[in-house]
Structures are given as C-alpha cells and as structure tokens.
Amino acid sequence: MGEIDGSYRVLQTPGTRLGAQFNAGISTLEPGQSLSGNMISGSRSQGRGLHIRVQGLDDSQEFFDIDPKAPAQTLLSEVFLRGNLMESDYFGLEFQNMQMNWVWLEPIKPVAKQVRRPSNTLFRLSVKFFPPDPGQLQEEYTRYLFSLQMKRDLMEGRLICTENTGALLASHLVQSEIGDYDDVADRDFLRVNKLLPYQEKVQERIMELHRRHLGQTPAESDFQILEIARKLEMYGVRYHPAADREGTKINLAVSHMGLQVFQGNTKINTFNWSKIRKLSFKRKRFLIKLYPEVHGPHQDTLEFMMASRDQCKIFWKICVEYHSFFRLFDQPQPKSKAILFTRGSSFRYSGRTQKQLVEYVRENGAKRTPYQRCVFPYTVCTLFIRQTPCLPYQFLLSPSALAPQPQRSPLPVALLPDVDPQPAGPGPIATEEGTLLTYQVVVYIVYFKTHVPLFSQRYPTDKAYFIAKEILTTERTYLKDLEVITVWFRSAVIKENAMPEGLMTLLFSNIDPIYEFHRGFLKELDQRLALWWGRSNAHVKGDYQRIGDVMLRNMCALKEFTSYLQKHDEVLTELEKATKRLKKLETVYKEFELQKVCYLPLNTFLLKPIQRLMHYKLILERLCKHYSPSHRDHDDCKEALKEVAEIATQLQSSLIRLENFQKLTELQRDLIGIENLTAPGREFIREGCLYKLTKKGLQQRMFFLFSDMLLYTSKGVTATNQFKVHGQLPLHGMIVEESENEWSVPHCFTIYSAQRTIVVAASSKVEMGKWIEDLNLAIEMSKKSQEKSSIFLDPGFGDHSNRKRSSDEVSLEQESEDDMNSSRTSLDKQTHHRANTTMHVCWHRNTSVSMSDHSLAVENQLSGYLLRKFKNSNGWQKLWVVFTNFCLFFYKTHQDDFPLASLPLLGYTVSTPEESDSIHKEYVFKLQFKSHVYFFRAESEYTFERWMEVIKSAASTAGRMSLLIPKGGPMEMNGN
C-alpha cells in the first residue's frame, strides 16, 4: 500500500454496557481530579494571552484567557471547571476550519497550532461522544445538556426523523422549558422559539402532544427526549462525505458500536468494532481492514475516497477517539516518539474512557447537592452592541447550561454594565457611536433553569455607584414605557387609521422629542456606569467614578422640554374625548390595552414623563446626602438637583391633576352603570373591598369613594372583569358611625345617607379606620364646597325602590348578581380586562388603596436585577424586576418588551428571612401573603434597602395607612 499517513490498530476489548441511571447531584470537578488540574492556575496569562470565545449548548457565550503556549486541554479544563461539568469527557470544543467544516479541538496541542486566528474563532461546546443509553449519563445535569444537543441537532437538520417524531421531541422540549400545557403560553413560546425547521406545519400537533405530558418534570422530559432520540437512526450521527470504489457518493459516520455507511439518509452498512482489525488513511483514501469472515470469503480491505487528506485525517481521528472511549477500559498511553523517523500518526485519544468516567462519577457524584431547575418560558432577543477601538465588545451571557456549586467559581451572569461592572471579558459593552454589531442571544424571560449566583464578589462597595446604577436601571424601564406609546400604540392606530391627524400630531409631537432625548441620556448613563468599574484606566484615575456631570448636563437640557410636558394635560384630555367620540379609536384603544406590551392602563404611560422628574429629584437628593461637600461629584449633583427641582415644582400641580384624571378615566372603563365619572371637580379618594350587609348576609362589594359620592359595586358573572355599580350615595348629609356592638359583626360601621342606610364591615380594624377617616374627611370637604355633585342616579337605576326609606332604616336589599346582564354597555362586550389593576387586587385581597397611596407609589418606582427563590426550592433564578403600581413585574432581561409574570403586592408582608427559612445569603428579603412565600436577593446593601423601602410602601399596611390615622395605632395586616 505504500507509505502510510496514519493508521490505528483496533484492540479487541470486551464491549459492555457501562453504568446505569444514578441519582447524582450538581456537576463539579474536585481539585486534583480535573483533566489537567495543574494547568488551571497558570491558564490566565499576564502577558499577551489568547482571548478565546466559547459558546455553550444554550448559545450563551463566555470569554477565556489562556497562555498561547499552553495545550488546548487548559482551555477545556477551564470551560468544564467554570461550568462545573462533572461528566465532562462526553463533551468537547469544536470550531470551523478554513473549509468551514466543524473540527474537534485536540487537547494535547496548543490552540494556536490548530486554529489560524484563535481570537477571532468561535469555539462551540458540543456533545462529542453519544452513549447508546441515556441511563449511562449518571447526572441529571448532563442529560439536560444532552437534550440541548438534541434540540440543536433538530434545528440544524442533523437529527432527521418523521414529522410526528419531530413534533413529539418538540413537545417534550416545550414541557422541559415552560412546564405543563397552557394554550397561550405554548403559542407564545412556539412563536418566538424555533425547535423544528417545519415547526409551523406541526405546531398544533406539538401542542396536542404537550397536553399529554401533564405533571412531567424537566428531568423526566430530558430523559424522554434522549429515549426517543437514541432510537433514531441519525442519533449522534455526523456525516463525513466520501465515495466508494465505484464513485457512488456516500456518507461515513462513527458511533459507539462502530463505523456506519449512509447513502443519502439511509444507513446501508455498519462495521462493528469487533469486525474491524485496522483503520488507516493514505492521502484522500480512508481504509478499513476487516477480520476474515467466518462464513466464507469477504473483501479484506474497504476503501473510501474523501475530498482531501485533511478531511480523511479528521474522520480517522474521530474514529480513534470513539473506539478508545467506548471500548477501552483504561486511558491509552501516548505513543513514544521515534528517534530517527516516524511511520504513521502519533495521535492518541487523551481523556478518561467511559468506564473510568462512570466509576469516577459513582465515587464522587453522591457528594453533590441535587441539581434542580424551574421551568418557565424563554425567548430570543437581539443584542445590539457597538464596537469601538477602546472598548471591545462583550456578549450577553445566559448561564442556563451551567450549574455551579457555591464553593466553586461561578460563571458570571449576564455581564452587562448594569449587572456586573467588572466583566470577565475584555471590557464593558461599548455604547458610544461605532460599528453596530447584532447578535442573536438566547435569554430567559422569567427564570434560569440552573441556580447560578448572580453577583460575584467584584462589585464596588461605594454606595454612590449603586445610587447611580438605580438611575440607569429605572431609566431603562422608563424608556421601555415610552416605547409603549411611541412605538406600539402608534403602530396600532396607524394600522387601523383610527386617530385623527390633529390628535396624532398633538400626541406624538409632544412625546417623540422626549423619547429621543432619553434615548441619548440612557446611552450616556450606560457608558458612564460601564466605565465606573471597568477595565480601562478610568477607574484608577477616578475620572468616571461620578455621575453628577452627566446628570447636570441632561437636567439642564431637560428644561427645554418643559413646554412639551405642560401639554400632557391637553393630550390626556383630548385623547379621552376622542375615544368617546370615535368608535374606531375606542375599539383600537381597548384592544391595545389588552396586549401584553401594555401592562398598565394606557393613559398611565402618558404620565410617566412628569413622574420621571420626581424620580430624578429623589435619587439626586440621595446622592447629595451621601456625598460630603468636599466630594468632587457633590457640586454637580447639587446643581442637577436644583435644575430638576425647579422643573418639578412647575409641573407639580399638573401632575396631581393628571393623576386624578387618569384614575377617573381608568375607573370609567372598568365600571358598568355610571356615566361621566370624569366630571369637573370630582376627585378620587379611596377604593377597596368591604362586606355589605344584605338579606343574604354579608356580601363582598367593591367601594369607590370620591369627593362628592360613594359608589359600591359587585363583580358578577359577566364576560369581563368589570364591576357593576349597585348603589351611589351622595356625601352631602352623610353620617358614618362605628356599629360593631349593634350588629355583632367585627370591624363594622354604618353609613347613613339621604337615600338609604347601609351597614358594611372591613377586613381588619386598620381597614375600618382608614375608611371611616377618609369618609369623614370627604364629607367635611363636601360641606365646604360651593359646588354640589350634579351626578345623581336616574329613577331607572337599580335599587331605586330603597330611596323612599327613612334614614334610620337599614338597607337590606336583595342584590342579585344575575341582574348585571340586564344593563350591559358596549364596554362590557369586549374581552377580559387586565386582572392586576388595583381594584381587582383589592377585591381579591380584601384591602383598599387611597389616592395618597397612589401618589406615594409613583415616587417609589424601581427596577433592576434580583434573584428570586420559591419557598420550597433550592435554587435562585435571575429576574429583571420592575416595581410600579403596587405590583412587581418580572422579565428575563430589561430588553424584553413585556412581562410574562407579575406579583401584586397589596396585602403582602415584607421582612428579612427567619432562621427557619434556612436562607444563608446576604441581602435577602422575604415576601409573604398567607401561604405564598417568595425570597428575593439583591446585589448590595443599598439595593436591598431600596427594594425593602419601596415594597413596604406598597405591601405593608403601615406603609399604606391613611395619613389621618394616628401613628402607633393598630398594625393588623390586610388579607389575613
């Protein structure tokens, strides 16, 4: 045969099924037991090291610095160590060579000798060896990574199967990602996540199959995915194009059992390892020598032609590694170097065999903390990154494919300027003008599946940094809120041609300039926070460890928009008038409010620009209080505070008027049976749940107190979440008295009015006190008012028969929920209203909220990254959390357009964890309502205190107590 380029003699070793399913914990390599533990300490070069980019199985990306002369095993060990991957020998790193073929990185050779430009090459973590039985994968975490490989193979067209099997695999992937079937969640998930090339065609089938997986855990889903995949002919198959002696095009592949030959996608032959005597290649020829057949003569040597010698050698090396991993008991020793000349390749497999790996995991895996993960939907967003010479780009990381232990060095999470100010990569994200790069990055909307500590120990301790960071995080949310109007609502009205041109001009000519200004402002904040603790020399010189100059410059510029902000009163009024006048606009308005992106009542977003001024004022006050007068940032912050306080003072009265008008219009849409709620002079005071005494006994009712009247409503069996008005009592001449003793009902009081007398009971003594104080205050104000309410009920309004009763006769009317169907308005015919508005939360939590509470909540808006943990779970999930309108809204990242989960806080208590909670972390606060318990972990002492402060203002009774109740009074909790 002439000169041999490379050969490998197959040793006949018994093939056994190795291992069985084993309940192991989180993967982590013990010190001294990594593949090259002695290399790790020196893997980061202090000189001109290689900067390597590695993509995980979940498409997250991470940077690694290695010595150019170090073997590639150093990089592999670092990847496995940082990922705490115990069964690491099943995996490898692959890259694309000059011919765009995926090639495995060889552990023994230096990276620089295998890749022409390592720093510009993407290395991809992938499954290298596919065992025949998923039971051989002893760790749940490893099976999860294998399922991600199956997902990748499905999408890339490698795991070829029938459409029905593809749909079944996809259904298990959906179950693993988002849990039990939900029609809306399934459609949303499949809309933004591509699992199959032909997904649209089989989407209904995927959902039908997903419905059958009820109660299946993520671990069970992963196991099912592997069970189905392993039975497929293309499981673990990687094609290597070749041709036989007749020139027929075929594909060669290698598996645990031996070599396979495919024609098209059909397997036409398999050569088991037991039949193969020797594998070799000579230039472009790949040779397989077989043992003589027992049942007659057979061709001794098979020859296949490949496209090049390099491709031939690549396939030969893969065959050598597969045989060694699955068939040998012990790791093969490297071939000794010849003194004078060599004949053939010296390549050998380096690493543990499957048998060694199974034994190692059995001995060490039981020590691990059990790997757990929660399941919630995720989506794909586009990360826009600007690249500049001074600030190399950094990728957003999603560590869902990593499961580190607390004692190991965790993979940094979401290395963005507002999450980790000292990224592990070459520097922070560049946000100034430059080349715009776009990357598709997988990011989870709500939860991580693995439990990765969010915050490393490299955060700066300066409180000023975290105060400045609050400006950045809340600015991100504010800009997203502006986009609800400038992008989403504009698109909706233009599409339906629903808004008159004059109103379009009035609305968008006022808000567009504000939006553009804040886009530039956010860019400056982003850059400054990135440089505050970045890798540049700025943090050494201290040039960028301040925020006052940025704030002063932008607060001065914001003064130019005062005229725009003063027009918001007109904008809100004209928009309300137009929706009443134009049916088409009303329809578009209502339909838009039901979209996920409009997570608050639409006109709430129009108030955001003025409310934002109050936020700047409060944050700058905290900065000025923190800085000493001699601090270099103090004077700028003080001047910026002066500028914004001046604007806020000018607009304070407008804000009060707008907030009241916004609340009245919101209630007008949610209440059936009353018109013209936005009458001039009317002010909203309190809304909440009380129990009204009727002939049926105490019945739950929703009460609304205004400056001129008291409404009570019920939520009946209608097609919407609206409330129907049952009674309207003018405040003129009204008297309120406590009457617990008279009726023997706890927290009971009587309301005497000109039309009727009603008896109501609150959920607690504190709630009763709030209502009585606010009612008496409103009654006193109405006496002094020169104007009397002109809004009285017509004779045809429900319960009119009770008007003739004397004031000392208690109204015990029969209130039927069925009569709500008799007086439906056009508003009642639309789909469900959002269920997390304050009126609905008050209804379900038996509590109340006043206008002063609303005003306080506006001042206390907050957003940022937190870790969340359920009461009975072991792991923490990273979330982008927005607090507004007495509610926490959960996102995966600040880039998401809408939340997929929310937590109304009314009635919740907030505290620090108790000893029985077994929470041994810093900066953790606990939220509890009855049996519902959540834990949240902040990144610093300052952010912890801020979250506690704002949540207390919304959650605890003390925080929402009426100003008229004396301090130190009863402190019962609502809803208990």
User: Could you tell me how far CA 768 lies from the centroid of its own chain?
Assistant: 39
Nearest to 550, CA basis, from 620, 609, 612? 620
157 has a pLDDT exceeding 80: yes
608 inside domain:
yes
Residue with tokens 């060599």: 342
The three state secondary structure string of 1-28 is CCCCCEEEECCCCCCCCCCCCCCCCCCC
150's tokens: 């199956």
Measure the CA–CA gap between 529 and 894, rounded to whole angstroms: 16
Answer yes or no: do 584 and 602 share one domain.
yes
What pLDDT is recorded for position 1? 39
What pLDDT is recorded for position 924? 93
30 inside domain:
no
b (16+ CB within 10 A) / e for 810-820: bbbbebeeeeb
What pLDDT is recorded for position 226? 92
Average pLDDT over residues 99-116: 87
- Do 6 and 344 form a contact (C-beta atoms < 8 A)? yes
105 inside domain:
no
What pLDDT is recorded for position 880? 93
Measure the CA–CA gap between 885 and 43, rounded to whole angstroms: 50
Please state the φ and ψ torsions of residue 309, each to the nearest 5 degrees.
-65, -40
798 inside domain:
no
413 inside domain:
no
Average pLDDT over residues 16-32: 32
84 inside domain:
no
Measure the CA–CA gap between 515 and 195, rounded to whole angstroms: 36
Least confident of 56-60, 410-414, 653-657, 863-867: 410-414
Cα torsion angle, 27, 28, 34, 39, sign: positive
879: domain range? 861-955
Who has greater pLDDT, 407 or 460?
460
What pLDDT is recorded for position 720? 62
Cα torsion angle, 291, 293, 297, 302, sign: negative
What pLDDT is recorded for position 485? 93
Domain endpoint, select from 331, 363, 379: 331
426 has a pLDDT exceeding 60: no
pLDDT digits (tens, 9 = 90+) for 372-416: 554 443 333 333 333 333 333 333 333 333 333 333 233 333 333
CATH number at residue 725: 2.30.29.30
Average pLDDT over residues 293-321: 80
What pLDDT is recorded for position 809? 42
Measure the CA–CA gap between 878 and 864, rounded to whole angstroms: 10
Angle, alpha carbons 65-71-75 (nearest 5°): 40
Average pLDDT over residues 596-621: 91
Average pLDDT over residues 640-668: 89
Answer yes or no: do 726 and 593 share one domain.
no
Name the average pLDDT for the chain: 76
Answer yes or no: do 696 and 619 share one domain.
no
Answer yes or no: do 662 and 681 share one domain.
no
Measure the CA–CA gap between 713 and 715, rounded to whole angstroms: 7
Distances (CA, A) of 790 to 344, 680, 731, 787: 102, 10, 12, 9
What is the end-to-end Cα distance of the chain in Å, rounded?
Answer: 88
Answer yes or no: do 883 and 747 share one domain.
no
Average pLDDT over residues 518-528: 89
User: Could you tell me how far CA 468 lies from the centroid of its own chain?
Assistant: 23
What pLDDT is recorded for position 168? 94
Domain endpoint, select from 292, 312, 331: 331
Contacts of 183-191 spanning 24+ positions with Cβ under 8 A? 183/207, 185/377, 186/210, 188/377, 188/900, 189/377, 189/379
Cα torsion angle, 561, 565, 568, 569, sign: negative
Measure the CA–CA gap between 680 and 16, rounded to whole angstroms: 86
**Following DSSP, what letter does each residue of 335-399 receive, concatenated?**
PPPPSS---S------S--HHHHHHHHHHHGGGSPPP------EEEEEEEEEE-SSS---PPP-G
Q: Which residue type does 264 have?
A: G
What pLDDT is recorded for position 665? 87
Crossing angle for the helix pair 568-581 and 634-670, nearest 10 degrees? Answer: 20
Average pLDDT over residues 477-487: 93
To the nearest whole percent, how much of the chain has pLDDT over 70? 73
Q: How confident is the model at residue 336 (pLDDT cuts 50, 70, 90)?
A: low
Q: How many residues does the chain have?
A: 976
Q: Please, what's the largest Cα pairwise distance for the chain?
A: 120
Contacts of 270-276 spanning 24+ positions with Cβ under 8 A? 271/302, 273/10, 273/15, 273/323, 273/326, 273/327, 274/12, 274/15, 276/10
Count of CB atoms situated within 10 Å of the CB of 279? 22
Q: How confident is the model at residue 334 (pLDDT cuts 50, 70, 90)?
A: low
- Do 219 and 372 form a contact (C-beta atoms < 8 A)? no
Measure the CA–CA gap between 696 and 692, rounded to whole angstroms: 10
Answer yes or no: do 492 and 620 share one domain.
yes
Answer yes or no: do 480 and 605 share one domain.
yes
- The SS3 assignment for 199 reads helix
What pLDDT is recorded for position 848? 87
Measure the CA–CA gap between 396 and 383, rounded to whole angstroms: 8
pLDDT digits (tens, 9 = 90+) for 762-795: 988 888 999 999 999 999 888 877 444 444 333 3
Q: Which residue type does 35 have?
A: L
431 has a pLDDT exceeding 50: no
To the nearest whole percent, how much of the chain has pLDDT over 90? 28
87 has a pLDDT exceeding 80: yes
- The SS3 assignment for 408 reads coil
Measure the CA–CA gap between 218 and 373, rounded to whole angstroms: 8
Answer yes or no: do 624 and 715 share one domain.
no
CATH number at residue 565: 1.20.900.10
Q: Which one-letter DSSP state was computed for residue 432?
A: S
Answer yes or no: do 495 and 600 share one domain.
yes
pLDDT digits (tens, 9 = 90+) for 562-586: 888 888 888 888 998 899 899 999 9
- Residue 390 burial (C-beta neighbours within 10 Å; 0-12, 13-18, 19+): exposed
Answer yes or no: do 545 and 633 share one domain.
yes
- Predicted TM-score (pTM) above 0.85: no
- Do 905 and 955 form a contact (C-beta atoms < 8 A)? yes
243 has a pLDDT exceeding 80: yes
What pLDDT is recorded for position 22? 31
Nearest to 843, CA basis, from 686, 689, 685, 670? 689
Domain endpoint, select from 770, 788, 806: 788
b (16+ CB within 10 A) / e for 36-55: beebbeebeeeeebbbbbbb
Q: Which one-letter DSSP state was computed for residue 168?
A: H
Q: How confident is the model at residue 48 (pLDDT cuts 50, 70, 90)?
A: low
Measure the CA–CA gap between 881 and 160, rounded to whole angstroms: 40
Distances (CA, A) of 837 to 599, 603, 764: 10, 13, 22
Average pLDDT over residues 949-953: 86
Q: Which one-letter DSSP state was computed for residue 487?
A: I
Answer yes or no: do 496 and 508 share one domain.
yes
Count of CB atoms situated within 10 Å of the CB of 632? 13
Q: Would strands 924-929 and 932-937 be described as parallel, antiparallel, or unpaired?
A: antiparallel
Measure the CA–CA gap between 875 and 451, rounded to whole angstroms: 5
Angle, alpha carbons 555-558-559 (nearest 5°): 100
- Do 82 and 63 form a contact (C-beta atoms < 8 A)? no
The domain total for the chain is 4
314 has a pLDDT exceeding 80: yes
913 has a pLDDT exceeding 80: yes
Who has greater pLDDT, 42 or 624?
624
Answer yes or no: do 908 and 935 share one domain.
yes
Measure the CA–CA gap between 38 and 544, rounded to whole angstroms: 39
673 has a pLDDT exceeding 50: yes
246 inside domain:
yes
What pLDDT is recorded for position 369? 52
What pLDDT is recorded for position 367? 53
What pLDDT is recorded for position 195? 92
Measured torsion, CA atoms of residues 551, 557, 560, 566, in degrees rounded to the nearest 10: -20
Who has greater pLDDT, 537 or 421?
537
Measure the CA–CA gap between 300 and 263, rounded to whole angstroms: 22
623's tokens: 């900065």
Strand partners, 55: 61, 124
Residue with tokens 């499949």: 190
- Residue 520 burial (C-beta neighbours within 10 Å; 0-12, 13-18, 19+): exposed
What pLDDT is recorded for position 17? 28
775 inside domain:
yes
Cα torsion angle, 399, 403, 406, 411, sign: negative
Least confident of 55-64, 423-432, 493-502: 423-432
- The SS3 assignment for 439 reads strand
827 has a pLDDT exceeding 90: no
What pLDDT is recorded for position 345? 62
